[in-house]
Structure 1
Amino acid sequence: MRIAAIDIVRGLCIVLVVFGHNPVFSDSVLDTMLSTVRMPLMFFIAGAFLNTRMSWRDMLIDKADALLKPFVVMALLQAPLRLMLGHTSPEALTAGVLAGGGAYLVWIFPLWYLTHLWWVFAAGHALVVRGQFHRWSAPVQVLFLLGCFALGHTLNAQHWLSDMPATQAPTEAHWRGVPFQLDQLPCNLVFFLLGQRCQALLRHWQFSAWRLIGSSALFLATYTLAHGLPGTPIAEPSPSPWSVLVPLAGMAMLVTVATGLAHLPLLRSGLAQCGRDSLFILLFHSPLQTLSFQLWSMALPHSPWLCGTLGWASSLGLSLGLAHVIRQHHWIALLWLPRRQVQARRTAPGVRLPGLTSFVPPKPGAHSS
């Protein structure tokens, strides 16, 4: 059963991710601050959905169907045009798919999250189910999480792992960072494990003005201590106590905002829908937002902020529209969604998908040959 509160939080999170990829807002002070929170919250929510009843092998297969399959489909759908336009080569395309995207396939760069999340699920499930992480003593859990966070920040500070200038690469398929963004795995695993441990807290989180004020003040204070005043460039990553607290305070703030918006019926249903269709928004928002922004800029050439807002809203609406169309067609849905999810919809009472024959149970006493 889906948890409505988590859908709303995830909906707000994916909306802010699209905001961060907007050509107008991506360099704003607000986006710079949100960039310290968005991805940690995404992994936190993913951890809340960890199914500990599945075996590790079954979980890997299930998540490959849910995460790796849509990534490969998106890469291969665009491949013919990209090859034709000279944006990539067969060697670079192969290396990019095998490396999970990222800087290898810049035209689907936002989809690095899908392939990286598969590895986070693999590590998180192993720790929770096989390693019995929840049975460790509280001090040991805290020390382990702090150690992972420090290791992750240390790896992120090693620019040779991820920031090789393209001018130094003899071919597009040359080394462009750690495959699957695995240098970020320790940090993201921390938030994933916290989400798994805090699922009940996330589900029952309630809005209050004082909670919003307190979490917002704490986020602003820790952000300033870790990165300087808002508007100044973010400093080099360092495993300081403040850099640990910034995303935690920011997540508390955004979850509180989401629970507050849940009291507004129109926003509640819209955010929940974005949460349910967050995969499709992640897959399609980048090209749709770029195209929408260009079209709105042609119509309103002197209003960049308005064009940015309209492009942001248009990409969300169009992504939701595509999600609706895809869900209605069984064979198309199989390209994007986990097979178990498509089959569940196929057999749901009262649901008829194009191209499928409805199942009519035999009458009592009847039998088939």
Structure 2
Amino acid sequence: MSALIRSRTRALGGAVGVERQTAEGQHAIAASARPRSALVDVGKGLGILLVVFGHNAWVADHLLWLDEVISTFRLPLFFFLAGVTFPAGRSVADTARRRADALLKPFAVVVLAYAITHAARADVTLESTALSLFYATGFTLVWVPMWFLPHLWLVSVAAAAYLQWLAPRLTTVRSRVMALAAMAWAGAYVIHLFHNPVDDTACMHHTRFSADLFACGLPFSADVLLLSGFFFLTGQHLKRRVLALQPHPLWIAVAAAIFAALWFGFHQTINFNFRSYGHALIVPLQALAAIYLALTLCHTLGRWQTLTRVLSYVGRGSLFILVFHSPLQAKALAWLARWPGPGVVSMLLSFVAAVGLSLLLWEGVRRQPALSWLLLPRSGTPSRQVDVTV
């Protein structure tokens, strides 16, 4: 009799397990079948390409004006799109776990891999590696752009907390606008409390734990959280409008006029890594106007299927591009500088090399189970993509 009961219990448990796996599979299929926004896909690809372009040394030396214009909206656009694609229903704990798998895990793997492969260098020590892992700001990392990964994890967790606990109390558009405005205003005040490497060269690179770290920024760049969170949550609140965007000539003209007036009138840029931020009102208005213009451009580009596929593919591999483009582009540019030819050609070739080689690395990792487990999200992301805004 007891054997029969055990047999039926095992059968029931197996049926429940199959039903659960089937439900999970159906949920994954449904998630992958949801219509994607060509505008957002193109925006993600365009955004990471602008990051690579802005980090090209030749551009900084010869096209500084263009780099400054792009810097007014480059990172705000990334945070804005991350907010648009952020699933509002996730709990804080689930968000922290999922984003740690997608962002903190590859960050830690790359930092440790760099430390192991460069152990002979005098500036690579156990202390400098621990500092890179646990402080995780641009001035504690050798590959500076990687600061974005731990900070995006922090922004995502903070946004989940806001949406779970505070947003339900903000029942009107006015209350939400006031909350975001207060966030932007407070964020501008906080960021100005910290030094930047232009004024304080000690903030350029740290390899040891010290009290001086806190003058340059907080762990995971928490001192810019209010500002990055402002753009992130603005994207989240405008999600439906963005996904249904139909650009209108009048609004395009208004956005262009606002951006031009603010840019030529005040000439203010944004650099979160350098703790550089202008006026609390001018900078976000300028950035939001530029973001609308960028989304309009993405909407137009999204009409071409081939271009949409290319930019979407670049966006899906954006984490690898973000992590590896800086050393790849620097090495390619240095190698090309030894050959005669126009500098703009070297800039373009190094740009293509940085993006192309990063995507090749991504493709290689996707095909290696061990590397895939270390560097890619384990679940919940379609096709094991490494989009940094997901």
With normalisation by structure 1, the TM-score equals 0.84
Could you tell me whether the CA contact under 8 Å between 1:161 and 1:183 is conserved in 2? no
Quick one: percent identity of the two aligned structures?
31
Q: Partner letter of residue 309 of structure 1?
A: L
49, 55, 76: which one aligns with 1:21: 55
Could you tell me whether the CA contact under 8 Å between 1:25 and 1:31 is conserved in 2? yes
SS of residue paired to 1:24 = helix
Q: Which residue pairs with 1:31 in the alignment?
A: 67
Q: What is the CA-CA distance between 1:73 and the residue it aligns to?
A: 0.9
Q: What is the CA-CA distance between 1:303 and the residue it aligns to?
A: 1.7
> Unaligned regions of 5+ residues in structure 2, if any?
1-33, 270-275, 385-390
Give the Cα separation in 2 of the matches to 1:134 and 1:256: 32
The question of 1:227 aligning with 2:267 is answered: yes
The question of 1:117 aligning with 2:152 is answered: yes
Shift in alpha-carbon separation, 1:202–1:171, aligned structure 2, 3 A: closer
Shift in alpha-carbon separation, 1:313–1:216, aligned structure 2, 3 A: farther
Q: Deviations over 1:20-59 (max 9, x none)?
A: 1101113510111111101111111111122223222111
The question of 1:150 aligning with 2:185 is answered: yes
The question of 1:244 aligning with 2:284 is answered: yes
43, 46, 66: which one aligns with 2:79: 43
Q: Partner letter of residue 334 of structure 2?
A: Q
129, 133, 139: which one aligns with 1:93: 129
Q: What is the CA-CA distance between 1:280 and the residue it aligns to?
A: 1.4
Shift in alpha-carbon separation, 1:240–1:58, aligned structure 2, 3 A: closer
272, 288, 302: which one aligns with 1:262: 302
Q: What is the CA-CA distance between 1:213 and the residue it aligns to?
A: 4.6
304, 312, 315: which one aligns with 1:272: 312
Q: Which residue pairs with 1:199 in the alignment?
A: 239
Q: Partner letter of residue 312 of structure 1?
A: F
Could you tell me whether the CA contact under 8 Å between 2:107 and 2:150 is conserved in 1? yes
Deviates more, 1:133-142 or 1:110-119: 133-142
CA RMSD of aligned residues (A): 2.7
Q: What is the CA-CA distance between 1:207 and the residue it aligns to?
A: 4.8
The question of 1:64 aligning with 2:104 is answered: no
Q: Which residue pairs with 1:328 in the alignment?
A: 367
Q: Which residue pairs with 2:37 in the alignment?
A: 3
Q: Partner letter of residue 123 of structure 1?
A: A
Q: Deviations over 1:136-158 (max 9, x none)?
A: 32222222211111111112222
Deviates more, 1:33-42 or 1:324-333: 324-333
How many residue pairs match? The answer is 339
Q: Partner letter of residue 251 of structure 1?
A: I
Q: Which residue pairs with 1:311 in the alignment?
A: 350
Give the Cα separation in 1 of the matches to 2:313 and 2:224: 29
> Unaligned regions of 5+ residues in structure 1, if any?
230-235, 347-369
Could you tell me whether the CA contact under 8 Å between 2:76 and 2:228 is conserved in 1? yes
137, 140, 162: which one aligns with 2:172: 137
Give the Cα separation in 1 of the matches to 2:341 and 2:204: 39
Shift in alpha-carbon separation, 1:216–1:330, aligned structure 2, 3 A: farther
With normalisation by structure 2, the TM-score equals 0.79
Q: Which residue pairs with 2:111 in the alignment?
A: 75
Could you tell me whether the CA contact under 8 Å between 1:154 and 1:238 is conserved in 2? no
Q: Partner letter of residue 219 of structure 1?
A: F
Q: Which residue pairs with 1:128 in the alignment?
A: 163
Q: What is the CA-CA distance between 1:104 and the residue it aligns to?
A: 0.9
